[in-house]
Amino acid sequence: MDHTAEVIIVGSGVIGCAAAYYLAKKGVSVLVLDKDESIGNGGSSRNGGGVRQSGRDPRELPLAMYGVEHMWPTLSEELELDIEYHKEGNLRLGKTERHLQILQGLTDRAVSCGLDVRMIDGQEVRAINPYLSDEVIGASWCATDGHANPLLVTLGYYRKARAQGVRFITGEEVTGIRKIRGKARTVVTRKNVYEGETIIVAAGYESRAIVQSVGIDVPMRKELIEALVTEAEPKMFPQMLGTADADFYGHQTAHGSFVFGGASGMEDVNKDNGNSMVSSITAPCICRGIMKYIPRLADAKIVRTWAGYEDICTDGIPVISKVEEAPGLILACAFTGHGFGISPVVGKLLSQMAAGEETMLDLREFRYDRFKAIG
Task: Supply the pLDDT for residue 375.
Answer: 40
Please state, in angstroms and rounded to a whole number, the distance separating the CA atoms of residues 251 and 131. Answer: 13
Task: Supply the pLDDT for residue 22.
Answer: 98
For all residues of the chain together, what is the average pLDDT?
A: 91
Task: Supply the pLDDT for residue 279.
Answer: 53
Residue 30 has pLDDT above 80, yes or no: yes
Q: Which of 250, 329, 333 is nearest to 15 (CA)?
A: 333
Q: Which of 212, 218, 186 is nearest to 199 (CA)?
A: 186
The pLDDT tens digits for 185-235 are 999 999 999 999 999 999 999 999 999 999 999 999 988 777 888 999 999
The pLDDT tens digits for 291-340 are 889 999 988 888 888 777 789 999 999 999 999 999 999 999 999 988 99
Helix, strand, or coil (residue 186): strand
DSSP state of 159: H
Of all helices (H) and strands (E), which one includes residue 346? helix 343-354
96 and 104 in contact (C-beta within 8 Å)?
A: no
330: left (phi over 0), alpha (psi -120 to 50) or beta: beta
Residue 343 has pLDDT above 90, yes or no: yes
Report H helices in 26-145. 61-70, 75-79, 97-112, 122-128
Residue 85 has pLDDT above 60, yes or no: yes
Q: 123 burial class (0-12, 13-18, 19+ CB within 10 angstroms)?
A: exposed
Q: Judging by DSSP bridges, how do beta strands 258-262 and 193-201 pair with one another?
A: unpaired
Q: How many CB atoms lie within 10 A of CB 296?
A: 15
Residues 132/138/140/143 CA torsion (nearest 10 deg): 50
The pLDDT tens digits for 93-120 are 999 999 999 999 999 999 999 999 999 9
> Residues with Cβ < 8 Å from 269, sequence gap 6 or more?
281
Residue 38 has pLDDT above 50, yes or no: yes
The residue ranking higher by pLDDT, 309 or 277, is 309
**Mind listing the domains of the chain with CATH numbers?**
4-46+151-219+315-371 (3.50.50.60), 90-143+221-313 (3.30.9.10)
